[in-house]
Amino acid sequence: MLNYYKVRIEKMGKPQILVLEPTRELAHQVAEQFVDYGKHTPLKVALLHGGVGYGKQDEEIKVADVVVATPGRLIDHFYRGTMRFGEIKILILDEVDRMLDMGFLPIVRRIVSLCPWKMPAEPADPQNKRAATPATDRQTLFFSATMPPPLSNLQIGVSPILPKCKLHVDRWPRPSLMRFIPSPWISVTSSY
């Protein structure tokens, strides 16, 4: 799906990827993975969550290309003027059903509305041998274990040309395959 939009993430020192997590523990885990997987890239990651002071977070966000945050602390940074959403190309909303249960839905709606819907076209750069790119829609990834009515009505910028896909996941060991696969078998089916 990332290739569909041809999103280009390069070191800018401005947030381009925003990941929202419901808890600081999940945010910390996701930020660690971004750091681990991106260790051979110049991209910087900022982790924003409550329960700690703003000092280190203020410093990280000044140079971050990727921001992993909890909704409350992210909106705090916005109101303090330390978080800007103008360059967000990819918005990831993870465990949205938990954010709903925790009462974060109004804040999540506000954050989504702050992110740009379209990214401007980029001119060609002959020095870096890069072709011009047309304007693109922001890519929004939405992950939720359940889909209660308040979430199904959440306007997150889903492209009308892409169908919504529901996945059904069954976990069960298949004895005939267990000798070949050292972990439980996971069957995934999708429907449109």
pLDDT digits (tens, 9 = 90+) for 36-70: 999 999 999 999 999 999 999 999 999 999 999 99
**Sequence-distant (≥ 6) Cβ neighbours of residue 22 within 8 angstroms:** 70, 71, 94, 95, 98, 99, 102, 104
Residue 138 sits in which domain range? 2-163
Q: Which is nearest to 19 in space by CA: 35, 8, 5?
A: 35
Query: Does 168 reside within a domain?
Result: no
In a domain, 30, yes or no: yes
Confidence of residue 152 (pLDDT cuts 50, 70, 90): low
The span from the CA of 26 to the CA of 31, in Å, is 9
Amino acid type, 3: N
Phi first, then psi: give them for residue 178, nearest 5 degrees. Answer: -60, -25
Q: How confident is the model at residue 105 (pLDDT cuts 50, 70, 90)?
A: confident
pLDDT of residue 67: 97
Task: Give the total number of structural domains in the chain.
Answer: 1
Q: pLDDT over 70 for what percent of the chain? A: 67
- pLDDT value at residue 28: 97
Is 175 a member of any domain? no
Mean pLDDT over the full length of the chain: 78
Examine residue 123 and state whether it is found in any structural domain, yes or no.
yes
Q: Decide if 183 is inside a domain.
A: no
20-29, 55-64, 164-173: segment of lowest average pLDDT: 164-173
Please report whether residue 145 resides in a domain.
yes
Give me the pLDDT at residue 57, please: 97
Residue 178 placed within a domain: no
If one compares 169 and 107, the residue with the highest pLDDT of the two is 107
- Greater confidence (139 vs 90) lies with 90
120 DSSP 8-state letter: P
What's 70's domain CATH number? 3.40.50.300
Question: What pLDDT does residue 151 have?
Answer: 67
**127 in any annotated domain:** yes
Residue 128 predicted with pLDDT over 90: no
Mean predicted confidence (pLDDT) in 160-178: 50
Cα-to-chain-centroid distance, residue 140: 7
Kind and range of the H or E element at 125? none
pLDDT at 34: 94
Neighbour count for residue 157 (Cβ, 10 Å): 16
Q: H or E stretch including 56?
A: helix 55-63
